A and B are shown apart, each in its own frame.
Chain A
């Protein structure tokens, strides 16, 4: 016997959580794209998609975020911080790759400077992952030592029932237990079986790739030029990525007052590493693509002992020229064998 939540109780759940002061967020299919968005009742969720087009990252690290307001006067500069949002949220129906992405980025945002904007949102948000029962050609979590039912970064794991009536409930963290205490009487004991998780075939040999990437001789390999020849240098892959976290600080306003903002930035752009002198240490697109791969699978794990990729596959799924991490690591795997 396990505890289950029936899908026809969703309306009640949403109501309970909202009454408890939480904003309820879930996968929503919009007219043009799907994303994690606020839902007002059970009908607002769309659990049918493989995963939303946009990752959960944007709920924690928005594409543009005001940090402080400044006014420059004759003898002083006044500044006023924008406080991090205090909103309590429950994200119901996150995918395991998205939740893992958040856990991966915790290490970055909490490294030398603890990013208040990120951690306030992290601490005030409950992540309820629903294990995947289907996957597409681009899913690759299993190649990253993750799985369709990974609990990394999630507070509660739900497994869809085979009979499609609801989910098995597995509380992972205290935060998750607290959120589910609010709906405890809506859960029930049941012997209903969970549906098998999606079969995600292993796309590449990660260890072999990492060994190749760590070999300094390969930094200047002609492989990089070959593999990235068709890269057009947009930021679609980095901006949809649940773990890419680079940002730029910009002051917007006139001479005397304005707002300092934190905006997404991307290593795909030539401007990303452009020096004031005009010199660019990553002057070609292949150097920029190499950086993205090296950062995710060599530098980041070197520093934080975890790969900066959770295998969602959005980079490849969405690429205008059909590139992506999968193809690159598959080709590196071939070089190694």
Chain B
């Protein structure tokens, strides 16, 4: 509650002084356990803001939607550490100018919410480095461990079963801050690179294409997993890809706004002859 009140006051001040044109945060949802994204444009509306442990959604995707930042004005946004990593990647991929972003950082343990000190992306670099250092020690969820123990055929069968439920609603893509392409590869129809049908093959194509595109970019915010209306455990795919990228390239996505995208950068002295 204290964190929420403090932030409400700061948000009001920034809006009243025109330091930001909008603040993206959370407000109560249709049931007590739900929170909705909130877009605050005037300090009078700041009282709608809530901040508690149920504020989970990574809001950073809104920053790159429908030209919000095109007027070069500043926007405030409530972000957990994963969200800060997301906007670092967006900046590294030239999707936003970090100087336009005012961060209201927070994190939670249990029901306790605490503020993260700082307003600019660079204020959080030590925090993010710590998270990288600690990430190998975080215990994996049992389901991921059991998938890793499966042989190739069992793993294929597992995902075939999971993907059989996919309806290609693209909620995973739309909820993902990294899926900002103006035209997704699956929406390109001249030629039609990827089948639009959501039969087994089409569902595999879609989900595997997405996994590849997110390798080295996913921060495991869980937006895709929570958005999936048929409960495919999408987080596990991206978690595994992130682990492999960390092991193979010592790359932890979103450490800073200038971090080179690991699978989209080229070095002349690369020992590999093949480039993805």
Contacts and interface: CB of A to CB of B under 8 A. Distances in A.
Give the most central of A53, A236, A250: most B CB within 10 Å. Answer: A236
Given A63-B167, A239-B167, A250-B192, A322 B30 contact: yes
Interface string B157-187: 0000010010111110111000000000001
B133 interface: no
Contacts of A239: 167, 169, 229
Contact of A271 (B35, B57, B187, B197): B187
A145 B196 CA distance: 36
- Interface size range of chain B in the complex: 35 or more
Contact of A233 (B30, B165, B167, B174): B174
A236 B197 contact: no
A154 B31 CA distance: 31
A232 B174 contact: yes
A18 interface: no
Interface string A231-242: 011111011100
A89 interface: no
Nearest to A136: B31
A240 B199 contact: no
Contacts of A322: 29-30, 34-36
A63 B163 CA distance: 13
Contacts of A238: 169
Nearest to B29: A322
Contact of B167 (A264, A320, A321): A264
A39 B223 CA distance: 34
B61 A232 contact: yes
A240 B167 CA distance: 9
A225 B230 CA distance: 28
Given A138-B30, A248-B196, A264-B198, A236 B35 contact: no
Among B30, B34, B61, B196, the most chain A Cβ lie within 10 Å of the Cβ of: B30
B195 interface: yes
Contact of A320 (B30, B168, B175, B187): B175
Contact of A321 (B36, B192, B195): B36
Contact of B168 (A63, A230, A261): A63
B204 interface: no
Interface string B54-76: 00010001100110000000000
B226 A320 contact: yes
B30 A137 contact: yes
A320 B227 contact: yes
A49 to B, nearest CB: 15
A64 to B, nearest CB: 4
A99 B35 CA distance: 32
Given A235-B171, A269-B187, 11 more contacts: A32-B231, A33-B165, A229-B37, A230-B36, A232-B171, A232-B174, A234-B175, A235-B170, A263-B196, A316-B30, A322-B30
6 contacts: A53-B229, A54-B230, A64-B199, A234-B173, A263-B196, A266-B169
Interface of B: 29-31, 34-37, 39, 57, 61-62, 65-66, 162, 165, 167-171, 173-175, 187, 189, 192, 195-199, 202, 223, 226-227, 229-232
